[in-house]
Structure 1
Amino acid sequence: MSGRVAARLAELGITLPDVAAPVAAYVPAVQSGIHVLTSGQLPFVDGALPATGKVGTGPDDVSPERAAELARVAALNAVAAVRSLVGDLDSVVRVVKVVGFVASQPDFTGQPGVINGASTVLGEIFGDAGVHARSAVGVAVLPLDSPVEVEIMVEVG
């Protein structure tokens, strides 16, 4: 991997992971015309979830700060899925949309702050092209009891 985005990743000290293996009947990403859409990416690190459970403020909950770190990891997994299709990330014209899901305790309303972990790293990697539309959604539970899941749509050219 070489080019502008590769240089930026190196500058940030980020090594993109291998594409996470699907946990069901789907593919990590598809390209349709000028867009690449990823499946929801969990924050797998070396094939395992580093944390599980609901996000909240209780003593047994995943903290919002930890969940934001996990959203960052999930976003990096999504970028890896994009790279698996397009090869050179310099072909990414812009990040169009991010959808983030947060497995939340019923009284937790800080989903936007959690998903900032994903949005921030995309901005760090892609600069102005990383500015995107976004949804941050609280849900009762996510696959494998993951605290977060992130999907992205990028335009390539």
Structure 2
Amino acid sequence: MMKIYLILLMSALIQVTELHAQTPEERLEELGITLTEPGEPVANFVNWRKVGNVLYLSGSGARVIGTVGEDLTLEEGYEAARLTGIKIISTLKAAVGDLSKIKQFVRVHGMVNSAPDFYDQPKVINGFSDLMVEVFGEKGKHARAAVGQVALPFNMAVEIEVTVEVED
């Protein structure tokens, strides 16, 4: 009898937790993050392409310019990646409407405009990855590459491409 009671109690606790789970939009508000409309592409491409239930986002970067390890510190690179994450969430919102429709982040390709002797690209891209987990929880975890580049378009510090699975 005690075992059945414990199972029922655990089931009730899980249901209450699920009822009070925050949406990504609520988390953004709690974090004080305001989304903006994504800008138009700067060349002959689109901001995103949906194939089936997979959404592919073009590379995106915040307006932080410079080379990490030369013009910018690791901390400034981390912040650039976080700001890029906010820009990417804005693009996701425009693409799917309700951020709760994102089932999971699949893959992230993070590129860092790096000085020749800078080797902490993963720490820079953590600015993006940490934000995705803050906003989306477990759904925000992803497979990832974090690589150094000799240059990025417009001298951006960071550029990130994202692939997510969405609900149909």
Instruction: Answer yes or no: same fold by TM over 0.5.
Output: yes
Q: Tell me by how many angstroms 1:76 deviates.
A: 1.5
Q: Tell me by how many angstroms 1:52 deviates.
A: 1.5
- Mapping of residues 70-109 of structure 1, within 5 Å: 70-109=80-119
- Mapping of residues 103-142 of structure 1, within 5 Å: 103-142=113-152
Q: Distance in 2 between matches of 1:111 and 1:148?
A: 10
Q: Distance in 1 between matches of 2:161 and 2:34?
A: 19
Contact 1:96 1:154 in 2 (8 A): yes
Q: Which residue of 1 aligns with 2:68?
A: 55
The match for 2:55 among 36, 41, 46 is: 36
SS in 2 for 1:31: strand
SS in 1 for 2:59: coil
- The count of aligned residue pairs is 146
Q: Which residue of 2 aligns with 1:46?
A: none
* Cα deviation 1:31-74 (Å, max 9, x = unaligned): 1111111100110xxxxx2x312110x4xx21111011011111
SS in 2 for 1:21: coil
Q: Which residue of 1 aligns with 2:34?
A: 15
- Mapping of residues 138-153 of structure 1, within 5 Å: 138-153=148-163
SS in 1 for 2:132: helix
Q: Tell me by how many angstroms 1:21 deviates.
A: 2.3
CA RMSD in angstroms comes to 1.2
Give the residue type in structure 2 aligned to 1:115: I
SS in 2 for 1:39: strand
Spell out structure 1 runs of 4+ moving beyond 6 A: none
- Mapping of residues 1-12 of structure 1, within 5 Å: 4-12=23-31
Name the TM-score, length of structure 1 as normaliser.
0.89
Q: Distance in 2 between matches of 1:32 and 1:81?
A: 16
Contact 1:98 1:151 in 2 (8 A): yes
Q: Which residue of 1 aligns with 2:11?
A: none
Residue identity over aligned pairs, in percent, reads: 41
Name the TM-score, length of structure 2 as normaliser.
0.83
Q: Which runs of 5+ in 1 are unaligned?
A: 44-48
Q: Which runs of 5+ in 2 are unaligned?
A: 1-21
Q: Tell me by how many angstroms 1:81 deviates.
A: 1.2
Q: Which residue of 2 aligns with 1:156?
A: 166
**Larger Rg belongs to:** 2
Give the residue type in structure 2 aligned to 1:142: L
